[in-house]
Structure 1
């Protein structure tokens, strides 16, 4: 049996290492600072038997006081490594019969073993959080397994009443501890620790009697306190499942809010388009919007004035001369022309320079071509419509100031004729324009 346990050690240690690496790969998505180191003290009952089967060398195994301490490193909410040390006594005798009724006729009447030390390194796995939707729990159930070394001194009492000692030196044997437990969080730094560990000894001399038929074993049931070192929350009670759930809920709430904003913007755009269509509506097609047309229903092809009324035109052939001063008036209007963002509404600061252009058109009877342009932000269809609406908006304003609608041509070119790069804010600003050409 001893040989089989020694052969199994590389497998046990490899399992601990692989488990720690696999668990450590689980990311903790919270920015909260965690406590990962802790120390614990405990005390409880040591008993030289196991409920998992196997015949004991003594028929009456007694419970004795034991105590221990440990240091633990928490790698993830589910996995940690724990270094334990335990001391105490193990006692038993043959004063009672076995459960089967058989009497132990061994020449040894009793034993008293001093457990000088028991040191082991175990992998501890937290089974689950009691409440999967709570980011931090107060109760953890765990299992553990590991390997270590025990040093002990057995003393036996013969049937004749004499005592025999194992000697001054400790007997050293490999142990395999397997345990279960529950941990209750009392504060951010203190936990109540309840546990039960079965220690399988790689030898048959823990009780001072060697029969060679089975290895000895002993239990340690304990209660104690664990102190988490550092500051912040304890990583062992952190629940990444609940944290992920909260993040998913927040992401959905953000998406719903963005969708609501988008729907509101769509409704606002639809309202603006309706208002613009009403503003530019020209039922009789004379170039004057219905809202400004004082003579609605003029026949097609009728030359009208700025108010939409028929204009008596005397055909006079004259040479149209555009001076530098005229071009300066137009240039100033272009420079000062501004619209509301994403709309065809002219801002009031542009009215003064537009009024001078209207006066120039009336005074010299010039013709004017308005060409609307946009940058490449948005769809092609949207930009084409917006550029057309802005050019028409300028025309409607000039006509309202007395300019001849039939001499003003408004065209939208969208984003197809940029004069600067659309890769910079300054370039896009230059591309959003309405060009004036007088002739």
Structure 2
């Protein structure tokens, strides 16, 4: 950047600041209040009213100088920086008072050269200087870390930090001799017609300037000055870390893992867009807003009314809790007031008559080898028979005894069918006992059909008793 360009940039910046100051003087109003603690200006925004009550979107323009060196230091393959111009455009959405997302579009050049111990430009090998033209697009988070609000308790200065990521597009070039550097002649990284890298040299019809695309991580700090509610002056410094080693046109074979970087110091104006009556979220002081809301007369009246309602509720609760006869039921629900002290009462406050608890029936004991009953024309065991079968199985296993299972049927059906049915019933019992651990050799089965009834087959009660299996222990 030459001296003439610097003068033009400074003149434009001063003119922009004067214009912003005039706009601020014409649009800013000050109100007075009997309470000196109230903030000046009027706003309808509430602490918990949401983002919709604020202006949150802004556009910024900036310009400044670039350098291959960083404020935090680090290694560099060049000894001296050449002042070069950088410029940018930003779009920011303020998500909260202290945080926003910002899209940055930047461009410019980064230049450097080598000097000897006496401070004279020189060439180290075939490197006298480099010049890289770049463009970048990044998305960053912007965090307001501190504010200065002065007397009016509305923020006037914000200090912020930024960090994000994006893509950088650049064209590196190098001056291979001191004469080339002094004359501004640079050899570019080049690519052929198919986009393949070729040798460094002057671009021609066959070999074009090569554009390198790499990841870039910007990390920066800055300060923002409020000119008006919608216009701010930004001053900042950003360090850009590239995921490559070509930006400075000097690849270090000794340190192939090294990554290039450059910095950008800038100043610019930011314009916040939105509804005319809405305040700018960037300058809101939530603590002051909450303080003002607590002193709002309408809120005080609402609090006073709420206290009255709470008192009424407390009195109603006390009335509900009143129990004159001490039986545990409040007077409003006591249907039998003045019950004697110590009486046991129900939910309505009346004396509770307690009936004696009937005795719990004791189940009949399980007797092993009892008859097993079956449903009509069925050989499926009833679940009610399992206790008797389990007791029988336990006794047989404990004593190693032998048992004969006799199957029977009622007189319905043919004799042949009833004989088969009685055998199936006996086998069902045997299967259960064997599955429970009784040796199969200790269980014998015999079918008797409808013979040997133990009840009258002419009645249903008798037929039910005859559908059975009995045991003979040996």
User: TM-score if structure 2 supplies the norm length?
Assistant: 0.46
- Please tell me whether Structure 1 or Structure 2 has the larger radius of gyration of its CA atoms: 2
User: TM-score if structure 1 supplies the norm length?
Assistant: 0.49
